[in-house]
Homo-oligomer: A and B are copies of this chain.
Amino acid sequence: MSMTQQEADFASRIEAESMQNPVYTGVEHAILEQRLPPGTRLAEAELAEFYGVSRTIVRAGLQALAHSHLVTLRPNRGASVANPSPREAREVFEARELLEPRSAREAALHAGRADIRALRLHAQEEHDAMSRNESGRALRLSGRFHVMIAQIANQRTIAEIIENLVSRSSLIIALYWTRSSTRCDEGCHNALIEAIARHDADEAEDLMRSHLVELHSALRFDVSDTSNLTLKDMLSQ
């Protein structure tokens, strides 16, 4: 097998199958935007009808989502949106605090002009979503910002791990978030971009660490309620 083949494999051909599965992409999108709250039941037939595919495709998508910890599968009981425990929530943020500061450092060292432009553009999109009160979209974009930094750090393996942890954070925030707005994100993210643009590795690392600690400390592990819209409502748009 040639090296180009090998590199192509590594460039995430692995996920290609999932990424063009409408169930995977649609449900993931809805979870990241908190339109599908934790615990929501995901009946196979309902998803099959909504996306116009057979249950075969639905099951493949749900299995992929289960591997990302966004969905829980229980034998003979079907799928539901994952419901991370307080312990899992704490562990996910501990893992992020271990990995992301180093990624921010590497990003500051490796970022090119195009990377910084992309980050600024993304921050603008986040800002727009916030000002239009599209809080779900804002949350998803906020997560993607962290993934972008990990990708700029040019360590695909770790970037992939971070991407997964960030996705799970959306569910954790849905369950345990106390503050009404994510406005702190805007300042933190902008400060991070400036540090990266200056190639100030120490500052980027510190900013990322404190940003994550702040997020983590805003979680409260008491009860939370789930509303009851229909599955179709939550997937639409």
Contact = CB atoms under 8 A, between A and B. Distances in A.
Contacts of A73: 13-14, 16-17
Interface string A95-133: 100110010000000000000000000000000000000
Given A10-B88, A83-B9, A85-B7, A63 B17 contact: yes
Interface of A: 1, 3, 5-7, 9-10, 13-14, 16-17, 39, 59-60, 63-64, 66-67, 69, 72-75, 82-85, 87-88, 91-92, 94-95, 98-99, 102, 155-158, 161, 165
Contact of A63 (B64, B72, B92): B64
Given A17-B66, A63-B64, A98 B102 contact: yes
6 contacts: A1-B39, A10-B88, A14-B72, A17-B75, A64-B67, A95-B161
Contact of A13 (B5, B10, B74): B74
Say what secondary structure dominates the interface of chain A: helix
A20 to B, nearest CB: 8
Contacts of A59: 60
Given A64-B63, A64-B67, A98-B98, A87 B17 contact: no
Nearest to A165: B157
Contacts of A10: 84-85, 87-88
